[in-house]
Amino acid sequence: SHGNKEVFSCWGIQLAVDWFRERGHTYIKVFVPLWRKEPPRQESPIADQHILEELEKQSILVYTPSRKVKGKRVVCYDDRYIVKVAYEKDGVIVSNDNYRDLQNENPEWKWFIEQRLLMYSFVSNRFMPPDDPLGRHGPTLSNFLSKKPVLPEPKWQLCPYGKKCTYGNKCKFYHPERPHQAQLSVADELRAKINVPLSVGKEEE
């Protein structure tokens, strides 16, 4: 959106990366189709292309695969890379795309995208995400971007069983009599909800 939908603005990517760096975030990944390394064309203009090379050297930018078959460009679906890495890292997706197609095909991703999608605007050359990413009754921006965001109490639905609940800390509802009720990470909470076993393996970079 930094290029006003007229040009692919690499400077807009740099502004977003700098914003998160200034906040102290160290694991930042940018996904761009490989064909963006090609010289700009009239139908796909690009500005400040050298920034992509610099971000790649810093291991921030990752090119998603693309190739040409009989003169036609074949591009992998980079949205999958974005959502998959954010989900596995229990991170935040920075995008103005709702990823509705991916929400519809994967119940794990649907809940994660709804809770961890950060939209944004550019005001002149300022990257500006909203102060209330999940609405006025949701967490603040700082809370939202923390590793384990704490949602305000009204966000949680009271447990219908109250003190008679036998689920303990695994209960997905809010218990006011348990002020220090442990909260799982978003990804682990989702796995618990849909009864998917947690597997441990080598994390992807």
* pLDDT (tens place) for every residue of the chain, 205 residues total: 665 678 899 999 999 999 999 999 999 999 999 989 888 888 889 999 999 999 999 999 999 987 666 666 656 778 888 999 999 999 999 999 999 999 988 888 999 999 999 999 999 899 999 999 998 888 899 999 986 655 554 445 778 888 888 877 777 777 777 654 544 555 555 555 544 433 344 334 3
Structural contact between residues 12 and 21, judged by C-beta atoms closer than 8 angstroms: no
Task: Give the domains, in start order, of the chain with CATH numbers.
Answer: 8-147 (3.40.50.11980)
In the chain the first and final C-alpha atoms are separated, in Å, by 27
